[in-house]
Amino acid sequence: MAAAPVASSGMELLGLTRQQLCARLAERGLPAYRGRQIFRALHQRLVQTLDAVHELPKAARAGLAEEADLSPLRLDQVFEAADGTRRYLFSVRGGHAIETVWIPDGERVTLCLSSQAGCPMMCAFCATATLGLQRNLTAGEIVAQVLSVLRDAGRRTGQPRPAALNLVLMGMGEPLLNYDHVLQALRILADPEGLHIVPRRVTLSTVGIVPKIAALGREPGRPNLAVSLTAPTDELRARLMPVSLTYPLATLRQACLDFPRRSGERITFEYVLLDGVNDGEAEARALLQWLAPLRAREAAKVNLIPHNPAPGIPFRPSPPERIARFQARLRAKGLPTYIRRPRGRDIFAACGMLAATSSPSA
Ligand code: SF4
């Protein structure tokens, strides 16, 4: 049976900053404090309807409800992995599927958000690439992923929100190709009268859209930067990540060198380890060499990501001893290098596996 379409588009309240919301209400003759009341109700109390904003007079609620859209997402399915990771499958307008992943780690939770439905970047090791780009998400759709998952967590745990909440833009899509909506969403999520998720708790991961890295560096409330690298030479990278044909490694490195860092901040370089492809001694040496100018400024750290196998993706994960050797080679030269523990593999929630799979396993 076909699912009902996501509600029609009206004024997308979740995509407005508090200031914009107040301005929109002013156009309707409502005072600014009403905008703040609605903003707080949506982002702190996580209400889903204007009817639940009891502070608003009934007439104002009814008038706004006619033109406002508070539900840009429809939650279709939730999968829970043995390690507690949860994958949320949502529909957005147009019928596209997107995913959000809840990754608990003790008191801390990381939410992995999607910025596009599908992705145009064609990374050879990533299941999302097989979908192609369907469309950019709106700011409201990005914000709604956080609100919806927190609402679910609140129902399950009775806690309004985790003690420490981090956001990573590492789900479906290349966030720097949806720059304005992503930055707008982060401004909304950072508002102290809302969820107040400050920029240093947010990491944006890009394959290396060089002009947008420069633009991001100029943003006042910018997130942390992660670069998905995965190959230390243009020849290999062009095979694994076609973005390298447009932005070769030399220009990518220059953009990273020019990126204004906060005190003590390092750019994270993500490196997906593919058995026999990019995990040998030669690649470790080439990676150290490519990173040398950044290492000299203590500007880089490396996250090694064991490849997560997905249907139709022709790579194998590197064996653990090969991963450990690769890490040791980088560490021996003083480069901070960490191995990311795979999370939620059994529900297709791990890095590189998001392809809107509607069953928990193949
Ligand atoms: S790794 Fe990221 S940028 Fe590359 S295809 Fe997958 S989702 Fe897109």
pLDDT in tens, 105-163: 999 999 999 999 999 999 999 999 999 999 999 999 999 999 999 999 999 988 878 98
For tokens 């299941």, the residue is 127
Residue whose CA is at the smallest distance from ligand 1 atom 4 = 123
Give the predicted TM-score (pTM) of the model: 0.94
| Pick among 2.40.128.90, 3.40.50.2300, 2.60.120.480, 1.10.150.530: CATH of 12-69 | 1.10.150.530
12, 22, 99, 126: which is the annotated catalytic residue?
99
Is 275 within 8 Å of 319 (Cβ atoms)? yes
**Ligand 1 midpoint to CA 131 (Å):** 10
CA–CA distance from 362 to each of 47, 154, 353, 354 (Å)? Answer: 36, 30, 12, 13
Length of the chain (residues): 362
* Pair of tokens at residue 172: 């479906």
The closest-lying atom of ligand 1 relative to the alpha carbon of residue 127 is 6
Torsion of CA 241, 242, 247, 253, to 10 degrees: 10
Distance 126 CA to ligand 1 centre (A): 6
CA atoms within 13 A on the CB side of 44: 13
On the question of a common fold for 12-69 and 73-347, the answer reads no
**Ligand 1 geometric centre to CA of 37 (Å):** 38
8 has a pLDDT exceeding 80: no
Give strand ranges (E) for 30-163: 68-69, 73-80, 86-92, 97-105, 108-112, 116-118, 133-136
| Marked catalytic residue, from 22, 119, 123, 351 | 351
The DSSP-derived string for 88-111 is EEEEETTS-EEEEEEEEETTEEEE
Q: In which order are the strands placed within the sheet that holds 300-306?
A: 73-80, 86-92, 97-105, 108-112, 164-169, 202-206, 224-228, 267-273, 300-306, 337-339
Query: CB under 8 Å to 144, separation ≥6 — which residues?
Result: 14, 71, 72, 73
Q: Which of the four pLDDT bands, split at 50, 70 and 90, describes residue 280?
A: very high
Q: Quickly state the pLDDT bin for 62 (edges 50, 70, 90).
A: confident
Q: Identify which of 115, 116, 119 to mutate to test ligand 1's pocket (most ligand atoms within 8 A of the CB).
A: 119
Q: Which CATH superfamily is domain 73-347 in?
A: Aldolase class I (3.20.20.70)
Active site residue 351: yes
Counting from 1 in the atom list of ligand 1, the atom nearest the Cα of 206 is 3
Angle at 64 between CA 62 and CA 68, to 5 degrees: 125
Q: Write down the domain spans for the chain.
A: 12-69, 73-347
Q: Which residue out of 174, 203, 227 has the highest number of ligand 1 atoms within 8 Å of its CB and is therefore the one to mutate?
A: 174
Query: Once rounded to an integer, what is the mean pLDDT over residues 293-299?
Result: 97
Ligand 1 binding residues, C-beta < 6 A: 119, 121, 123, 126, 128-129, 172-174, 207, 228, 352
Ligand 1 centroid to Cα of residue 175, in Å, is 10
CA gap 25, 30 in Å, rounded: 5
Which atom of ligand 1 is found nearest the CA of 129?
Answer: 5
Please choose, from the candidates 125, 133, 126, 151, the residue with its C-alpha nearest in 3D space to the C-alpha of residue 52: 151
Distance 192 CA to ligand 1 centre (A): 31
> What pLDDT was estimated at residue 359?
63
